[in-house]
């Protein structure tokens, strides 16, 4: 299995981050539209990534939910018919949810820099420092921290959860608010659910 050190942060100005990343990368970024379908599994995470042409990847990985750089151990298997694979897995596994995003990928040294525009969540930057076989995680963590400083991303912007976890939290909040409105109809007229799935009071 492959390994890398990952770190994710929410960003307010994706264009400004793009300019900084472009200055560090040897070439232009590549834009890739991705749809990730996650399945409920007893350990780690499992998803099928679908590309616009119908091809994709089956990806399994294990990664802790904590802020800052963290090791990710993963396996990627290419497939020619991702929708068919989603259907096959969905017949035996519960679908957790779907993450849709536009990803712009740059390479800075051995680090893959992802500029992500995620439906319902907003804009993020994700760093993946690729580790060599048997390499200690500490070196990758130092590189990730150094790149964060170069991009001027503050520590309070770091995100510990995966995108699917953030979406599940939004859905759970909306469902809880809906139950509350049903239980307390007098309050429902004062609450509005916005387009991002959040409840305004």
Strands 70-79 and 2-10, sheet pairing = antiparallel
Q: How many residues does the chain have?
A: 201
* pLDDT the model gives residue 171: 93
* pLDDT the model gives residue 9: 96
* pLDDT the model gives residue 77: 98
Q: Which residues pair with 158 in a beta bridge?
A: 9
Percent of the chain beyond pLDDT 70?
92
Per-residue three-class SS string for 26-46? CCCCEEEEEEEEEECCCCCEE
Name the pLDDT band for 201 (thresholds 50, 70, 90). very low
CA distance 40 to 60: 11
Domains in the chain (CATH in brackets) are 2-160 (2.40.320.10), 166-200 (no CATH)
For residue 157, pLDDT over 60 is answered with yes
Once rounded to an integer, what is the mean pLDDT over residues 35-59?
97
Query: Residue 125 is encoded by which pair of tokens?
Result: 């930057």
Once rounded to an integer, what is the mean pLDDT over residues 71-99?
97
Q: What is the pLDDT of residues 164-186, one digit of tens each?
A: 999 999 999 888 888 878 888 76
**Cα end-to-end span (Å), the chain:** 47
Helical H runs in 46-155? 82-90, 137-150
Helix (H, G, I), strand (E, B) or coil at 162: coil
Measured over the CA atoms of residue 78, residue 80, residue 85 and residue 87, the dihedral's sign is: positive
For residue 191, pLDDT over 60 is answered with no
State the chain's mean pLDDT as an integer: 91
């Amino acid at each position: 299995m492959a390994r890398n050190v990952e770190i994710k942060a929410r960003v307010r100005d994706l264009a400004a981050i793009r300019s900084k990343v472009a200055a560090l990368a040897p070439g232009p970024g590549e834009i890739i539209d991705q749809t990730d379908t996650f399945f409920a599994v007893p350990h780690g995470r499992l998803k099928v990534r679908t590309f616009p042409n119908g091809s994709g990847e089956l990806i399994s990985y294990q990664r802790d939910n904590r802020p800052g750089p963290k090791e990710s151990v993963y396996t990627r298997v290419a497939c020619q018919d991702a929708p068919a694979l989603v259907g096959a897995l969905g017949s035996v596994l519960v679908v957790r949810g779907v993450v849709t995003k536009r990803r712009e990928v740059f390479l800075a040294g051995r680090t893959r820099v992802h500029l992500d525009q995620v439906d319902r969540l907003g804009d993020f930057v994700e760093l993946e420092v690729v580790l060599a076989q048997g390499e200690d995680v500490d070196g990758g963590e130092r590189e990730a921290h150094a790149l964060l400083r170069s991009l001027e991303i503050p520590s309070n912007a770091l995100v510990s959860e995966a995108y699917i976890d953030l979406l599940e939290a939004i859905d759970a909040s909306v469902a809880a608010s809906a139950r509350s409105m049903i239980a307390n109809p007098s309050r429902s007229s004062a609450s509005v659910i916005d387009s991002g799935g959040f409840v305004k009071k």
